[in-house]
Structure 1
């Protein structure tokens, strides 16, 4: 029999003996021997820190982002090979699409975040802080990659997405990973990792795989390492409380399965589009991945006078669910991941039966369209009804990790919020309502107990990704029972793997460290205009001091005529009583426009275009007779990749525009964004 291998210390290897036989969830056939016994975890973690970590930390955010993009493009090209393996986990084609292509989508999404980071191996966070009267001492924050390894302990339900959504974040931050998927579905993770390793896109040591039980995998974590755990809250909390995790201040992110709720708004009646949307959404959440999602709807909250209507409509949709071999095009729900999951599901359903009535489904009595009912890991959808959820509270405690959910009535929106919160914290809740005021009331009152809230109606349903789909640019996690952790979250997710450090010093020192011009730093004047320099030639702090211009009444009147901006402060001196102005004042946009005329070198050169303005502020009124000049300074440089061989090699340069008056005081500030051609047209 074949072995499901581990990839550690730069090679593929099988563990000692046999920890588990991975089985096909549809047929029960043996797939391979799974074992990680005998692996040297201390060496594995150190290999990641030294081999992968050193290489990743030297790369800039732009380089890491391009690396992730290249990996995503490669995996999209070869994605077809993973579907057949995925079927063996019990997943349908749609389930597999979410797992495989949804996971790859996380790589694309995180790669795009490089635009929110500097062209450095580390991040410059926030704005500088003035710490002295004369401005010779300031503070700032930088965030550097942690010098550790990310250990990801993942659940069985998403063998690909669960890995890719996590490593996308740590790799962008410059931190290597050791991934331990669930041993039951690790054969699919192994398949994906082989494709990644064979591509040679990631630096060696940045990704290692432990396919077996992984006993001892976190025994050797140390300060700077991060452990993420996805699974049961009970197991996660035990690991989180290990003495060495606490003693060494190891970052631990827990994402636990939760009793998520979906609420039918009190305004929604049968016949409304939102009613049909609600029923369809709940049915999908019960059957997608056979209910094996940490975000699945476990509690269905319905106005008490709509219970019968929802029960009837939901039952009709569930009856149409064809269960069986996902290779069969008629099948809409596959199997659970393993027979063990079926046994746990049956146990928890029996517990809920003590307080609730089954109104649809039977775990043992159902038709099967392909697959082996005895050897496979199949289970049919079950719908409970609980008419007194404040008294019969097991529904708020017991989670059936499968195609099982419970209908619960509520009297008013306050009661719906209370019931939703009785789950003691969830990853997601949703409300389907046609009234945005109801959506607002629910979101504001329930948000403290839920990591994400979906407000769904007919206007958003067509493009909505649904109750159960976390998005890579939004936080995935939740308080209380859900673990209190955060995953993904766009830029926020990447920051989890960075160490924030305050730096203090002279503006020149902070400019050198951050590679961003800081107020008060030296501005060495260049002989040749900045617009005559190519990208590589420009240095942060280089400055052009422009000629000066005296603002006149005619300038103000002319700009008012051209722009159509006849705001009273610019054109009517008789209307200024009670204002802050001493007389007719120049338009702020005139000052900025005139500044552009002063700092721009009009001849054709390396500057290709100006594509935006950031952080524009008008800080002091300019009156006729005042003289202005501009300090035009290189603020920051960001490399940019060529989109094709024919594309012009260029980078982004941010220029600080400081418009000052005759007293040397700043009257306007702005940052302009430009594309500047490179000398080297090969990169």
Structure 2
């Protein structure tokens, strides 16, 4: 077997340490790689990231960074077979590695797509509403997110060397932060291969991505308040890092995603023979055996109604007995090895302690009947199912995690008891409930929601399309309170914002508008002889306004619109009922009639720079328009964002007023325009 020397990537160069530690195959114990970081200048790496990578990324827009992240995901996909082959020696089956490799690339695609859809093509994000702060409107405020001038340090766990790295890298790069990645040593050779693939694209700015293959040395000593640390791993290591003097002194943003004692609840309605009963058994068995149970979201505590304990145990034992354990390269194997013999010993030690308060009802601590040849020095272990009939006295089950193919069955008396047991884990990444009873689900959310970062509800209606208990999704937050670390990752653009600095700005509307590149209420407007729909994006000034002519709305207009559309709501057609309304005080025009007339007042119909109207946002009807009232429209270029070489998005502020200058309606109009 060829032994791979794992290198670091620092200050734009690959670096090979002279002091290397061996990494053994989880399958047969042979040395597959050597790794180390002695000799790296960690302070220089931090400076290089800030000065080269950070400045280059901040000069790019969110869309440019999103395109970069997408290209990195594509590169991983193009070289996935190499990564699959390397991953076998970590003990992972191909199905396990699909989550890691293609799932990891998928997080980059998702981050890229969300950023391009939801973030502006600039480098500042507006957060929330514009806030007038003075009577005349000359002083106002708003919140923004801007890129920090630091580096994001990512310290990752061994179980998902690619997914765990990429789900952090994507949002950080989009946020404009250069990254220093420190993978776990046992699977760091997989992470190094993925980093080489991404660097080979030639798309990453110098200093945007660096890799430490070994100890971090004095890296954390060089961090400041502009930097951040994202950690995935054990509670003990997390606590140690959080107490680092530099992190405490400099108030370095620290995000922890720690292993937790996740639970799954079989609903009281899920009797034997129901789809939910079968789904629960399937889900618990899957979470025990996928990745050999080495998932931070895996089910550790399976909570079932007391009268169904035997039935669930029998069904789960039968399913586990059908799981073939052995060499992950074999097509018939469904569960591979733990990542190392050291990890196997750790799991066995913790199970031995848990067995003092629970019975092992399936599996063996020393079983050796695994499929494959030459596995004697591998890290294989049978799935282990425990049973604790007095869960409130089995504190070791609620306080200690055996990070492997291990779960414990526990009974509950009623829904309140199930909630209390789930919460007894003091915070988890994931809680699942298998039930077809909406009242049960609502009760559990009310009682357990604050203890669990994600809650998934599985039943016969969603099972075929459900991602299941243990799958974090890039569009939803991943993290949890208490024992789970109190951190938050992913969640779409939330992850990007989490890596940025939120600031409050105060000043004149014109000043604030100049900062954010967007028209704000009270901003100076400009007008001209050219209709704004005749201007290309490059010619259109933010704040350029078209003021329409007047149009009077008649009773005949209202009645025609009602009969033509079928909208004969009483406020438009019944004078007596409308007059009795505390809102209308008589017949009024349809809101959508107002929108239609507004379009007729501001649209320039000839072909030109405006290619299409693709939406309205923030629509508010402020004051009713009655028969005989007149209306006019102010159409103002609010913001613009180039999407590609052929077109871009223009956002227009539309203000409809009546003859008394009262606001009738406001909304944002979205158009696609030529650049």
Normalised TM-score (structure 1): 0.97
Matches within 5 A, 1:193-212: 193-212=195-214
Which deviates further from its counterpart, 167-176 or 367-376? 367-376
Q: Is 1:664 aligned with 2:661?
A: yes
8 A Cα contact 1:27 1:372, kept in partner: yes
8 A Cα contact 2:580 2:586, kept in partner: no
CA spacing shift, 1:592–1:201, aligned 2, 3 Å: same
Return the alpha-carbon distance in structure 1 between the equivalents of residues 56 and 325 of structure 2. 48
8 A Cα contact 2:42 2:217, kept in partner: no
How far off is 1:674 after superposition? 0.6
What are the ranges of 5 or more consecutive residues in structure 1 without an aligned counterpart? 643-648, 679-683
For residue 87 of structure 2, what is the aligned residue in structure 1?
Answer: 86
Q: Which of these residues, 444, 447, 451, is aligned with residue 446 of structure 2?
A: 444
Which deviates further from its counterpart, 618-627 or 605-614? 618-627
How far off is 1:75 after superposition? 2.1
For residue 424 of structure 1, what is the aligned residue in structure 2?
Answer: 426
CA spacing shift, 1:25–1:371, aligned 2, 3 Å: farther
Which deviates further from its counterpart, 668-677 or 207-216? 207-216
How far off is 1:371 after superposition? 4.9
For residue 216 of structure 1, what is the aligned residue in structure 2?
Answer: 218
How far off is 1:664 after superposition? 2.2
Q: Deviations over 1:200-242 (max 9, x none)?
A: 1222211111111223232211111010111111110121022
Q: Is 1:620 aligned with 2:623?
A: yes
How far off is 1:614 after superposition? 0.5
Matches within 5 A, 1:449-598: 449-575=451-577, 576-598=579-601
SS at 1:72's partner residue? helix
8 A Cα contact 1:396 1:423, kept in partner: yes
SS at 2:526's partner residue? coil
How far off is 1:578 after superposition? 4.4
Matches within 5 A, 1:113-262: 113-114=114-115, 115-262=117-264
8 A Cα contact 2:220 2:246, kept in partner: no
Q: Deviations over 1:610-629 (max 9, x none)?
A: 01111111111212222211
Return the alpha-carbon distance in structure 1 between the equivalents of residues 346 and 674 of structure 2. 62
8 A Cα contact 2:182 2:216, kept in partner: yes
8 A Cα contact 2:231 2:238, kept in partner: yes
Normalised TM-score (structure 2): 0.98
SS at 1:660's partner residue? strand
8 A Cα contact 1:182 1:213, kept in partner: no
Matches within 5 A, 1:31-110: 31-110=32-111
8 A Cα contact 1:149 1:178, kept in partner: yes
For residue 635 of structure 1, what is the aligned residue in structure 2?
Answer: 638
Q: Deviations over 1:403-456 (max 9, x none)?
A: 011111111111111111111111111110111211111122111111111111
How far off is 1:262 after superposition? 0.7
Q: Deviations over 1:505-561 (max 9, x none)?
A: 111111111112111111101321111111221121111111111222222222222
Q: Deviations over 1:135-161 (max 9, x none)?
A: 121111111011111101111000000
Q: Would you say how many aligned residue pairs link Structure 1 and Structure 2?
A: 671
Q: Which of these residues, 650, 653, 657, is aligned with residue 650 of structure 2?
A: 653
- The runs of at least 4 consecutive aligned structure 1 residues that moved more than 4 Å come to none
How far off is 1:641 after superposition? 2.4
8 A Cα contact 1:153 1:227, kept in partner: yes
How far off is 1:359 after superposition? 0.6
Return the alpha-carbon distance in structure 1 between the equivalents of residues 152 and 136 of structure 2. 44
SS at 2:185's partner residue? coil
Q: CA RMSD in A?
A: 1.2
Which deviates further from its counterpart, 304-313 or 77-86? 77-86
For residue 646 of structure 1, what is the aligned residue in structure 2?
Answer: none
For residue 645 of structure 1, what is the aligned residue in structure 2?
Answer: none
For residue 30 of structure 2, what is the aligned residue in structure 1?
Answer: 29
SS at 2:220's partner residue? coil
CA spacing shift, 1:420–1:580, aligned 2, 3 Å: closer
SS at 1:214's partner residue? coil
For residue 397 of structure 2, what is the aligned residue in structure 1?
Answer: 395
SS at 1:184's partner residue? helix
Which deviates further from its counterpart, 249-258 or 560-569? 560-569
Return the alpha-carbon distance in structure 1 between the equivalents of residues 552 and 251 of structure 2. 60
